[in-house]
Amino acid sequence: MHDKSLTQVVHDLRQGRYTSVELTRHYLERIRQHNTDLNAFITVTPELALEQAQAADQARRDGDDRPLLGVPLAHKDIFCTKGIRTTAASKMLDNFVSPYDATVIEKLLAVGSVILGKTNMDEFAMGSSNENSFYGKVRNPWQRDRVPGGSSGGSAAAVAAGLCVAATATDTGGSIRQPAAMCGVTGIKPTYGRISRWGMIAYASSLDQAGPIAKTVEDAALLLKIMSGFDDRDSTSLEMEVPDYLATLNNPVKGIRIGICKEYFADGLDTGVAQVVMDAIHELERQGAKITEVSMPHTRYSVPAYYVIAPAECSTNLSRYDGVRFGYRCEDPKDIEDLYTRSRSEALGKEVRERIMVGAFALSAGYYDSYYKKAQQIRRLIKNDFMSAFKQVDIIAGPVSPTPAFKLGEKTDDQIAMYLQDTYTIAANLAGVPAMSVPAGLIDGLPVGLQLIGNYLDEARMLNVAHRLQQATDWHLQVPTIAREGP
């Protein structure tokens, strides 16, 4: 059953080919067998899942036909889930049980889905390899000595290994697209503001955006449609109608103008990855897409600007973890200062502490203009690059990350090399445009992703192009051995 796409599962449940309880039991059994090895889940919720599955089966017998009725999903442990521990993979929130559901969770529960558990991630979403988790690293299902990518490594690994039908994730600088690419699954970071951030633990609020990770573009499009929409509890939420992404998936790509950003093919890109990405672009050309080169000259400044904006926002956002209202509190604080500093220092990981400090520096008196303001100006220039590119083309195509999945521990001592992993993904967050990763091939048994970037709110066209690519290729159907193993 775990080889089936979300779309097939929805169909099968409607046809009564199996029940939600059978399907949920199957996934719980797979998680029990394989999670020790992969460490993709921080928390598994078998009792709740079976209770929800039973309710879904009963509802179906009573004539209910909600879109995801009885479909078992996994959620990145950054989304608040009522009554379920929500940790953001931090010791700080190890004991935190959320009193409410995030909007994304509410929406997915409202259409009848089942919660299998919460997936592993880099602590507070800070990382590109899922090695910064308080709960330990996640292993790549394709090769166990490799990283799954990050920060949504648990969600990507769980989908790739067949431990859930699909999963939720978040992307601040590439955290959906990069792990999706490295695990050979499909991931979407929509336009900033498309999906509500309410109840999603904040890292860098002006960049954070939720999205789905799934086996196919069709599955991801269905989830995106459900997750999107205006929410007055998120002040940056866009008050705009959500199109029916599925309705336009099959449109021909003939005449669609696809831009190859030449700066994405510069030094540092693995030649094998470049080849795989170009092959995918040529397939789209074969279908009638028009390929042209575009230039986005400020691309190389996106990583530097990001490492001012994201730390600055995180230093502000994470000031709430003070040992007073929730989360970790140190033993026997001697005074209030000791309570704050010891609680934070004992419970926040090294990468998180460092980003908070860099952010505090960038925002401090005398440095604000040359760091934070400068970064926000560069952000505008990066947006302008996209705007002029989108005058010439409809979609920009390129690599997701410079290499396939690297080895566990390979970059943990070289922070800058780790940061440069996100060279091709960060610009879309800074500009706020939608972007996604689709499987495009394998190099030495490791998946490579193709990145597609669209104009603001043009997710439909991006999904259309990605879907047509999947209609003509079978890269998304390739799965790691673990996904073929029983039960």
Number of residues that bind another protein (CB under 8 A): 70
Binning the chain into helix, strand and coil, the percentages to the nearest 5 are 45, 15, 40
Q: Please report whether residue 229 would count as binding another protein according to CB under 8 A.
A: no
Are the CB atoms for 449 and 439 separated by under 8 Å? yes
Closest to another protein by CB, 94 vs 285, is 94
Here the tokens at position 343 are 């609680």
Which of 344, 411, 461, 476 touches another protein (CB under 8 A)?
A: 344
Decide: is 149 part of the binding site for another protein (CB under 8 A). Answer: no
Smallest gap from residue 334 Cβ to another protein (A):
7
Contact indicator for 464, 251 with CB cutoff of 8 Å: yes
Three-state DSSP at 252 gives coil
- Helical (H) or strand (E) element with 420: helix 415-420
Which one of 1-9, 263-271, 355-363, 466-474 is the stretch in contact with another protein (CB under 8 A)?
Answer: 355-363
Q: Which of 440, 463, 466, 462 is nearest to 453 (CA)?
A: 462
Nearer to another protein, 63 or 416 (CB): 416
Residues 6+ apart with CB under 8 A from 45: 84, 115, 116, 117, 118
| 88 and 77 Cβ atoms separated by less than 8 Å | yes
Selected catalytic residue, list 151, 152, 196, 237? 151
- Choices 30-38, 152-160, 162-170, 373-381; region in contact with another protein by CB under 8 A: 373-381
Nearer to another protein, 55 or 360 (CB): 360
Q: Tell whether residue 358 is a contact of another protein (CB under 8 A).
A: yes
Q: Of the two residues 159 and 433, which places its CB atom closer to another protein in the complex?
A: 433
Instruction: Report yes or no: 433 and 455 within 8 Å, Cβ to Cβ.
Output: yes
The span from the CA of 4 to the CA of 243, in Å, is 26
Contact 123, 99 (CB under 8 A): no
**Under rule CB under 8 A, residue 124 binds another protein:** no
Alpha helices in 176-270 (DSSP H): 177-183, 217-227
Nearer to another protein, 392 or 415 (CB): 415
Residue number with CB closer to another protein (18 or 367): 367
Is residue 4 annotated as a catalytic residue, yes or no?
no
Spatial separation of the C-alpha atoms in residues 405 and 442, rounded to whole Å: 11
Name which of 144 and 373 has its Cβ closer to another protein: 373
Active-site option among 20, 76, 133, 152 = 76
Establish if 456 lies at the interface with another protein (CB under 8 A): yes
175 carries an active-site annotation: yes
Q: Which residues have CB under 8 Å from 292's CB, separation 6+?
A: 257, 258, 259, 260, 392, 393
Q: Active site includes 76?
A: yes
Residues 300-339 close enough to bind another protein by CB under 8 A: 300-301, 303-305, 307-308, 315, 319, 322-326, 329, 333-339
Tell me phi and psi for residue 459, to 5 degrees.
-55, -35
Catalytic residue among 20, 155, 175, 237: 175
Interhelix angle for 20-38 vs 46-61, to 10°? 160
95 binds another protein (CB under 8 A): yes
Tell me which residue has tokens 């195509």.
397
* 383-402 binders of another protein (CB under 8 A): 383
The residue from 416, 444, 474, 486 that contacts another protein (CB under 8 A) is 416
99 belongs to the binding site for another protein (CB under 8 A): yes
Single out the segment in contact with another protein by CB under 8 A; choices: 37-45, 213-221, 268-276, 342-350: 342-350
To another protein, the closest distance from the beta carbon of 255 in angstroms equals 27
Amino acid at 49: A
C-beta closer to another protein: residue 63 or 350 = 350
Q: Which spans in 65-152 are helix H?
A: 103-110
Give the per-residue contact string, 237-266, with another protein (x = CB under 8 A; - = no).
-xx---------------------------
Check binding of 354 to another protein (CB under 8 A): yes
Give the pairing type, strands 114-119 and 41-44. Answer: antiparallel
Distance CA 102, CA 97 (A): 13
Characterize the bridge pairing of strands 257-261 and 395-399: parallel
> Which range of residues in 38-46, 177-185, 360-368, 476-484 is near another protein by CB under 8 A?
360-368
End-to-end CA gap in the chain = 9
**Interface with another protein by CB under 8 A: which residues?**
95-97, 99, 191-193, 206, 232, 235-236, 238-239, 298, 300-301, 303-305, 307-308, 315, 319, 322-326, 329, 333-342, 344-345, 348, 353-354, 356-358, 360-362, 364, 370-371, 373-381, 383, 415-416, 419, 431-433, 456
**Positions marked active-site:** 76, 151, 175
